[in-house]
Amino acid sequence: MKFLVTGGAGFIGSNYMHYVTSKYPEDYFVCLDALTYAGNYNNIKDLEDKDNYKFVKGDITDKDFVDELFEQEKFDVVINFAAESHVDNSIKNPRLFLMTNIIGTQTLMDASRKYGIKRYHQVSTDEVYGDLPLDRPDLLFTETTPLHTSSPYSSSKASADLLVMAYHRTYGLPVTISRCSNNYGPYQFPEKLIPVVISKALNNEKIPVYGKGENVRDWIHVIDHNIGVDLIVRNGKVGEVYNLGGHSERTNLEVVKTILNQLGKSEDLIEYVTDRPGHDLRYAIDSTKVERELGWNRTYTFETGIKETIDWYVNNTDWIENIKSGEYKKAYKGD
């Protein structure tokens, strides 16, 4: 089968590309990415020699380009990881998020309809459910929790999800959606909490923590997310939404302290800063459906996963320095 994977130079997408190109030598994977500031060709450069893989630079909102690519490649399956993904940026520039996350999704789905794709999979987020109170640990997001968003980012992702379900109902497009909690692991752009903290701690710089650091996230290793996406794409039921969660709720402060502790750094580096506007309090995901129906489960505990992840960043300081200096923008030698 031939797969189109969008956003494959980003954090989760690049981990996905590594996973599937090794696991399925008989399938063929085209990685499409616009290489925005968050797309890093270094993440996937080592795939260049693989026979079942190719990279294409392009924008999912560009209808003519997308149509031409579908016409040429005759994909069987489309998996859409491409997105603007940083909440803080969405507060500064919502329009870009609406373009990429909504119009980009529509453009891919229109081409999927036109060229008779067998499966369109949308990679979504638990943020579409809004947040949960801190004092109700019994509450979890299920697939039937109403969409109730807080930021322009989560609103754009929720809008895309609604559109995906509408394309299924109206046009019969064979879709699935996965909604996952906060990911951590290798290749995460150093604007997100975990790589920011590691990078700053290694340089003995102050570590900004929003508010009192009480916000709770449900952390999942990126490999476990990707195993789930792959299972849903191959075995999930058309028209269904599947939640994927880490079952590892931690406050931001706990995460920061875990990192400082492993790196042998002082907690005095922590600096509390003005909270993010509209900051979601708590996310927690119920993944019972995908566990029961598709046999998915996590392979990492948070303790093992975070330790391995910190080690990865410590052993790959060049990767982060390359981003900080802007050198990473030169990694792609194509046009």
Ligand X SMILES: NC(=O)c1ccc[n+]([C@@H]2O[C@H](COP(=O)([O-])OP(=O)(O)OC[C@H]3O[C@@H](n4cnc5c(N)ncnc54)[C@H](O)[C@@H]3O)[C@@H](O)[C@H]2O)c1
Residues lying near ligand X in the complex (CB under 6 A) are found at: 6-7, 9-13, 33-36, 38-39, 59-61, 81-85, 100, 104, 123, 125, 157, 180, 182-183, 189
Quick one: three-class SS letters along the chain? CEEEEECCCCHHHHHHHHHHHHHCCCCEEEEEECCCCCCCHHHCHHHCCCCCEEEEECCCCCHHHHHHHHHHHCCCEEEECCCCCCHHHHHHCHHHHHHHHHHHHHHHHHHHHHCCCCEEEEEEEHHHHCCECCCCCCCCECCCCCCCCCCHHHHHHHHHHHHHHHHHHHHCCCEEEEEECCEECCCCCCCCHHHHHHHHHHCCCCEEEECCCCCEEECEEHHHHHHHHHHHHHHCCCCEEEEECCCCEEEHHHHHHHHHHHHCCCHHHEEEECCCCCCCCECCECCHHHHHHHCCCCCCCHHHHHHHHHHHHHHCHHHHHHHHHCHHHHCCCCC
Taking the complex as a whole, the smallest distance from the CB of residue 69 to ligand X amounts, in Å, to 11
Taking the complex as a whole, the smallest distance from the CB of residue 285 to ligand X amounts, in Å, to 10
Taking the complex as a whole, the smallest distance from the CB of residue 222 to ligand X amounts, in Å, to 8
Looking at beta carbons only, is 157 or 265 nearer to ligand X? 157
Q: Looking only at Cα atoms, what is the longest distance across the chain?
A: 57
Looking at beta carbons only, is 100 or 258 nearer to ligand X? 100
Any idea which residues carry the catalytic annotation?
Answer: 126-127, 153
Looking at beta carbons only, is 26 or 64 nearer to ligand X? 64
Looking at beta carbons only, is 36 or 251 nearer to ligand X? 36
Looking at beta carbons only, is 12 or 164 nearer to ligand X? 12
Locate 101 and state its tokens. Answer: 């996350």
State which residue has the least CB distance to ligand X: 10
CB atoms < 10 A from the CB of 174, how many?
17
Taking the complex as a whole, the smallest distance from the CB of residue 86 to ligand X amounts, in Å, to 7
Taking the complex as a whole, the smallest distance from the CB of residue 26 to ligand X amounts, in Å, to 26
Looking at beta carbons only, is 61 or 176 nearer to ligand X? 61
Q: Which residue has the tokens 């954090």?
A: 11
Taking the complex as a whole, the smallest distance from the CB of residue 239 to ligand X amounts, in Å, to 20
